[in-house]
Amino acid sequence: MSYNDFGLKEYFRSTLGIATFFLIFLLFTPIILFLLLITFGKASNLVVEKIAPMMVRPTMWISGISFDVKRHADEITSPAVFIINHSSTLDVLTLLALGLPKIRFVAKWEFQYNPIFLILGRLTGQIFIKREKSEKAIATLKKTHRRIKRDKLSVMMAPEGSRKHPGIIGPFKKGPFRMAMDLGYPIVPIYFEGNRELSKGGTLITKSGQVTAHIHEAIDTSDWTLDNLQGNIKEVRNRYLEWADVEDDEVRPIS
């Protein structure tokens, strides 16, 4: 998505939203660090459930983005492995805006190159993996199992791995599903509707419009095995194809 995709007013509105995000981020960072240090990290849940949504929602409002959450189940299952469709940089904001209970995010290793993300991520117990090395990524995830189970934490992952993938819904990797099996957790699919249409590029520049996070019913993984894993992954991905209203062989590369 390039500058030409925006009207002048929309472009500057989005730019103001981004500036607001970084200003809020800079203002909140020392407060968050102070809370984490004096509580020895125990304020992590407060940060991800309450403070993070407070930080990103003004950015979306200024950018002209209306954010809505629709629950397709009576209640949100927790703890669980939450999964999302990942095709936009805007996903970062909508993930944080959800404020899910006791959630930890699995993020790409490169985020740690930013010292603030490194410090905040480590202090709040986020999980950083090298996505291009699947076996090492799975090994990293396994190392976190004990802490996740002990503290009854939920995990948020993107089965597609990266937003840069062929088609509307890219191929699903095994990592999130293997983790759900190992933890004995259900999988809760979240489908972001509108993110891709509003922001397809590698920046937070967005169009104004509607974004809806659909939180679907939990999927039981108690009878999943390595033998039927691939079939179950395909079934879950088919749900996303249905929600996105696209065919499996329909490839629309992200610009």
DSSP code string of 186-220? -EEEEEEESHHHH--SSSS----EEEEEEEPPPB-
Backbone angles phi, psi at 18, to 5 degrees: -65, -45
pTM given for the model: 0.86
Query: Residue 251 — very low, low, confident or very high, per pLDDT cuts 50/70/90?
Result: very low
Query: Residue 175 — very low, low, confident or very high, per pLDDT cuts 50/70/90?
Result: confident
Query: Which of 33-42, 131-140, 199-208, 246-255 has the weakest average pLDDT?
Result: 246-255
- Mean pLDDT (whole number) for 249-253: 47
Question: What domains does the chain contain, in order, with CATH numbers?
Answer: 3-244 (3.40.1130)
Inter-residue long-range contacts of 145-150, CB under 8 Å, 24+ positions, other chains counted: 145/179, 145/182, 145/183, 148/79, 148/104, 148/183, 149/183
- Give percent of the chain with pLDDT exceeding 70: 86
* 248 Cβ contact list (under 8 Å, min separation 6): 238, 241
Q: Is 157 a residue whose pLDDT tops 60?
A: yes
Query: Residue 255 — very low, low, confident or very high, per pLDDT cuts 50/70/90?
Result: very low
- Mean pLDDT (whole number) for 132-157: 79
Tell how many helices (H) and how many strands (E) occur in the chain: 10, 7
Beta strands in the chain (DSSP E): 65-71, 81-84, 103-108, 127-129, 154-157, 187-193, 209-215
- Mean pLDDT (whole number) for 135-162: 82
pLDDT of residue 119: 73
pLDDT of residue 133: 59
Query: Residue 253 — very low, low, confident or very high, per pLDDT cuts 50/70/90?
Result: very low
Query: Which of 37-46, 62-71, 125-134, 187-196 has the weakest average pLDDT?
Result: 125-134
For 89-114, the pLDDT digits (tens) are: 889 899 999 999 999 988 776 666 66
**Cβ pair 128, 108 in contact under 8 A:** yes
- Mean pLDDT (whole number) for 154-182: 88
pLDDT of residue 254: 40
d(CA 57, CA 34): 22
Quick one: tokens of 216? 């679907």
pLDDT of residue 136: 66
- Mean pLDDT (whole number) for 76-101: 92
